[in-house]
């Protein structure tokens, strides 16, 4: 079922907002590339407020000794309690991928209105 969440302009690019939809805490992320992503707002590690965490990207190098580059801006969220990092596009935990994952939800934008599929 689809639920109206907000207007596209309510969340500037590179930012996120938390909402409750059908009693489910959701964080809606508007990536710097213009895509919207939705994740469950509670960290599975120790139930921290994931939606209040830092929205960031990745620093990575192609191989040891190479300079680091910054990528995926606004697609990684870090829990404010213990810094567990989650990929907002997939829900995968970058810190402990075999142990944790956060649920993601499908987002649809229609005529500048943002809808969530639950």
Separation of alpha carbons 86 and 90, rounded Å:
8
What is the residue extent of each domain of the chain?
Answer: 2-117
Local confidence pLDDT in tens for the 118 residues of the chain: 999 999 999 999 989 999 999 999 999 999 988 999 999 999 999 999 999 999 988 777 788 877 887 677 779 999 999 999 999 999 999 999 999 999 999 999 999 999 999 8
Distance CA 56, CA 112 (A): 25
**pLDDT of the residue at 104:** 97
What pTM does this model have?
A: 0.88
Q: What share of the chain is helix, strand, coil (3-state, %, to 5)?
A: 5, 55, 40
CATH number of 2-117: 2.102.10.10
Question: What integer pLDDT is reported at residue 61 of this predicted model?
Answer: 75
């Amino acid at each position: 079922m689809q639920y109206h969440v907000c207007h596209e302009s309510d969340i500037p690019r590179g930012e996120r907002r938390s909402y409750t939809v059908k009693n489910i805490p959701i964080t809606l992320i508007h990536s710097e590339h213009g895509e919207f992503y939705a994740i469950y707002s509670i960290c599975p590690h120790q139930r921290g407020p994931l939606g209040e965490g830092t929205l960031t990207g990745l620093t990575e190098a192609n191989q040891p000794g190479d300079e680091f580059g910054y990528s995926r801006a606004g697609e990684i969220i870090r829990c404010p309690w213990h810094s567990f990092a989650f990929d907002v596009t997939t829900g995968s935990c970058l810190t402990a991928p075999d142990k944790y994952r956060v649920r993601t939800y499908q987002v649809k934008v229609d005529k500048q209105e943002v809808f969530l599929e639950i």
